[in-house]
Amino acid sequence: MLKTITLIFGVFLALFFIACDGNKIENPQDKGYDYFPLEIGRSMVYQVDSVIFDPEIGGINRKEISLQVKETVVDTFRDETNILLYKTERYERPDENHEWQIKSVFAKGTDEDQAVYISDNLRFIKFIFPPREYKHWDGNVHFDEFLTVEVAGEPVQIFKSWAYEMTEVAKPLVQDPFQFDEVTTVVNADNENIIEYRYVVEKYARGIGLVYREMKILDTQCEACCNNDINYCESIPWEEKAEAGFILTQRLIEYR
């Protein structure tokens, strides 16, 4: 009888620990602020590759652009809501054989509940604390989702139908040359219809910050690819039928 009870108790413990591991019992004191670390002097270097779809007579010109981007925190200030923001300078260069050239300045910061990113007078809520799987929020609540931006001279509503969700929390990620122990994935947009595709995903590593971003902002009228044949247009990949917009990948290659 004792052996049976011991065996049952052992099985129960095993199932308990498996369940705990699957649900990731979290430290209630851990708010996850280190997924969005901020300090003066912090610098991140990314490899950025993009394809811009540029309509022209006779078809669509696909412009491929590759460059390196460096973001360096240089100062702090407080906004009208009293959030401490970190002024960040953005530099670009074609590759490591060229000098950095400053291109823009933006700001980012955190409060008790969220991380914000402010660029070109647009305020994004990029991250929510504490991170939890399937958490949803309106990250673009501070501006009009139908804002039109010119991409290669074409008007594109980049932010239409965005809806933020944390799809994975504290998962390992191998991304050459790094191996990250805890990465949280935030899907900013994943929406598609016949003429528009919006897909944006970001990955944040604990203690480091943004390590990966992918954007597919694509529009089509099914003209250049398909001579207005909607059924055929629906059946082919967006990379083949896009007539405006862009595809972008941004990958961390260095940080300090």
44, pLDDT greater than 90: yes
For the segment 109-138, the average pLDDT, to the nearest whole number, is 97
CA neighbor of 250 nearest in space, from 105, 117, 64, 69 = 69
What was the pLDDT predicted at 152?
Answer: 93
pLDDT at 29: 67
- Give the start-to-end residue ranges of the domains of the chain: 30-255
Residue 227 pLDDT: 85
Contacts of 144 (CB under 8 A, 6+ apart): none
Residue 26 has pLDDT above 80, yes or no: no
- Rounded CA-CA distance 81/92 in Å is 31
* Residues 74-91: tens digit of each pLDDT: 999 999 988 999 999 999
Contact 36, 204 (CB under 8 A): yes
Average pLDDT over residues 216-225: 92
